[in-house]
Amino acid sequence: MMYAVFVYKMKPTLKSVGKSFLGMQLYMVFMFLINYLLGSNYFYTNRKPNATTLLDVFGDWPQYIFVVEIIVIPFFVLIYLPFYFSKNKT
């Protein structure tokens, strides 16, 4: 992302935040299917890890997936904020 910002002078928009979240959702569905077919558990989409992790605080499967998705939204907005402020400054 930073390459496009500095080299091509491209700036994300608030709409980009929504597109990124939607892209993350599609990627998670894709990983769920891949994990199901391979019997794997990449990104812990199909089950929690056997060890104790922070995911234990967020509930059982699939509840923890939704909690993590809700937590990610403010981080996406936080990453966007410098671009928002620099746009309004000029």
**Distance between CA atoms of residues 64 and 74, nearest Å:** 17
Give how far the C-alpha of residue 73 lies from the chain's centroid of Cα atoms, to the nearest Å: 8
**pLDDT for residue 41:** 94
pLDDT band at 5 (very low <50, low <70, confident <90, very high): confident
30-75 pLDDT tens trace = 999 999 999 999 999 999 999 999 999 999 998 999 999 999 999 9
**Distance between CA atoms of residues 29 and 5, nearest Å:** 29
**pLDDT for residue 58:** 94
pLDDT of 1 higher than 70: no
pTM: 0.79
Token couple for 56? 């234990």
* Residue with the two structure tokens 């998670």: 28
